[in-house]
Chain A
Amino acid sequence: MVDASTSAHGDLKLSHLTKSFGDFKAVDDLSLTIPEGSFFALLGPSGCGKTTTLRMIAGLEEPTSGTMHVGNTDITDMRPYRRPVNTVFQNYALFPHLSIFENVAFGLRRRGIKDVKAQVDKVLELVELPHLAERKPTQLSGGQQQRIAVARAIVNRPALLLLDEPLGALDLKLRRQMQIELKWIQTEIGLTFVHVTHDQEEAMTMADTIAVMNEGRIEQMGSPADLYDNPKTAFVANFLGQSNLIKGAIESNGADSLLVNLFGQKVALPRSRSAAKDSSILVGIRPEKFRIQPEGKEMSGNILTGGVISDVSYIGVSTQYQVEMPWGQELIVFEQNDDGVPPLDKGDKVKLSWEPIFTFGLDGSQDANAGSKLIADEEE
């Protein structure tokens, strides 16, 4: 029998993958293709099914239905140790009774490779920890253990490397550093990385393609820039960065642009950027796209008047305003501190403007806050 653990390679193809726990569908009819050599992120809040998906790919969880292929090899029913897949576990899962060297050599030895030293040394060199080979895992810092966990997986040159929230246990600064390092390692060795995370910034920094998951399904998939600029659902708009979503009604349907009534004020948006199904629409504007001016000043583009500043946070590079609109909604505005004008004050009457092309439109039947509360939960 040809050993798939070394021979199989190619795109990872998931077809109609479903995993139920009793009545609960953790993963619901998921189909997707991850191209060979890409850095792919599964992004979503806890409980969205991303980790279950990863565990099914690793063979640690059995799908209820559906299939998984690597290239032309069907891996759906393969035992985990036969799959061309290695995992970097959330808390690293380094073997505490083995030295770092033996941890890294574990996979090679199990495949019957006798002379492991050269390969282990090389990969320890790659993660810049060759001097720790004889230590035990407990003697390493979190960041070092993380790198060893990566080394232990990539030394086997799997067709797929799975990363399950690999940076979750590290502090912020180390996390940023490891993000860059992981991305570098991926480019260096050219393996396919499938990365599960709830941290949208992490996903955007590292991945070529992000699939945003929610309740067992893929909400939207695309490049980080595409997802940020053209979210297709309120969930994606709120989960990936921050969004101001304002309920409105489409008044007129032009050839290239729509005119929308937002609580009595009219704004325009490109027709191509609207995902509204009928006249009910959620108009989306990212906080940094707004310009903010005191009431009475001349402005161009889309304009919303009647705002009152309810909160100001000065954070160096920018100032963040919360502006209460006449219809009671609080909008978020990020203003770059690059014009030498002192920030506005709480209680100031203001108007907001932005370029129509920065506006996106979503189907108006959704909850405008979908996905935003989840971020607050994750941060706790």
Chain B
Amino acid sequence: MKQATRWFSKNLIRIYAGLGFTYLFIPVLYTFAFSFNDYRKSNLAWRGFTLNNWKNPCGAPDICNALGNSLKIGLIATTIATILGTLIALALGRYAFKGRTFVNLLIFLPMATPELVLGASLLTMFLNFGFNPGFLTIVIAHVMFCISFVVVTVKARIASLDPRLEQAAMDLYADERETFRRVTLPLLAPGIAGAALLAFSLSFDDFIITNFNSGNVNTFPKFVYISAERGLPAQANVIGSSMFFIALIIVLLGQVVQRKRKVS
């Protein structure tokens, strides 16, 4: 009895961690497991194992069109938001100007505003300006809400960057442009890459704002939401699981590269 208590108190933190991770990953496991379900109309009850869904991920009508749109929007919005956000972060992190504190505050606002409000007011704005909701309006909306996250992430990296490194570059005959290219940018790169990944994942799975501003353009989250009413095809699980594993591989690769750099 005493031994059991001791074992328990010794391993309490492990048990706690185990429970925590189970809680986090059960939904992912569920999604993954049900990607192998031999589903009929809905994918809610287990009907037997099959590889058909993985062999033919585009089997459900319109799913790959929606996925393609989401990827395209994600890539375009991420590129624009990362470039603009990085420039804003540099301005906020490196230069003192009138109203900097105010701009800092404004940058936070889109993150704090409920998506529903953003989505609805964006739609109103687009319609008032005579824009038809579609691919372009989705991209504009996504760039808008991604920028704040990019600014915050990159700014944190800039804050940890020793300004003397840039001064040293200038001291060693690098003009402003060369200093940026040879020193500032390479040192900010990990932060910028992190910001880009964050922006992409935000864009990829945004539903609320997208739903308001997409017109009849389908995206993956929209597809999932709409088909959930009629019964979600298992192909959605295949794509969801794939996205998860791709993300996992990217993270692991990043770790490996970093470790290699430290060793060499």
Name A residues whose Cβ lies closer than 8 Å to a Cβ of B: 5, 58-60, 79-81, 85-87, 89-91, 93-97, 106-107, 110-111, 136, 152-153, 156
Contact = CB atoms under 8 A, between A and B. Distances in A.
B121 to A, nearest CB: 43
B172 A107 contact: yes
Nearest to B167: A60
A87 B168 contact: yes
Interface stretch (B104-112, B173-181, B231-239): B173-181
Contact of A91 (B164, B173, B183, B186): B164
A152 B164 CA distance: 15
Interface of B: 162, 164-165, 167-175, 178, 182-183, 186-187, 261, 264
Contacts of A96: 165, 187
Contacts of A89: 164, 167-168
Contacts, number: 62
A15 B184 CA distance: 34
Q: Which of A5, A89, A111, A136 has the most CB of B within 10 A?
A: A89
A86 B174 contact: no
Contacts of A5: 173
A110 B172 contact: yes
A242 to B, nearest CB: 34
A97 B172 CA distance: 16
Given A95-B183, A97-B186, A81 B167 contact: no
B167 A152 contact: no
Sort A-B residue pairs by CB-CB distance and give the 10 closest, nearest first: A107-B172, A110-B173, A93-B168, A93-B164, A80-B170, A81-B173, A87-B171, A110-B174, A97-B186, A106-B172
Classify the interface of chain B: helix, strand, loop or mixed.
helix
A110 B171 contact: no
Nearest to B165: A93
B170 A81 contact: yes
Q: Which of B162, B164, B264 has the most CB of A within 10 A?
A: B164
25 contacts: A58-B167, A59-B171, A60-B167, A80-B167, A80-B170, A80-B171, A81-B172, A85-B171, A86-B172, A87-B167, A87-B171, A89-B164, A89-B167, A89-B168, A91-B162, A94-B168, A95-B165, A95-B169, A96-B165, A107-B173, A110-B172, A136-B264, A153-B172, A156-B172, A156-B173
B177 to A, nearest CB: 11
A14 B171 CA distance: 19
Given A60-B170, A60-B171, 6 more contacts: A80-B170, A80-B171, A81-B172, A93-B165, A97-B186, A136-B264
A56 B169 CA distance: 16
B246 to A, nearest CB: 27
Contacts of A93: 162, 164-165, 167-168
A89 B162 CA distance: 12
A96 B261 CA distance: 12
B95 to A, nearest CB: 15
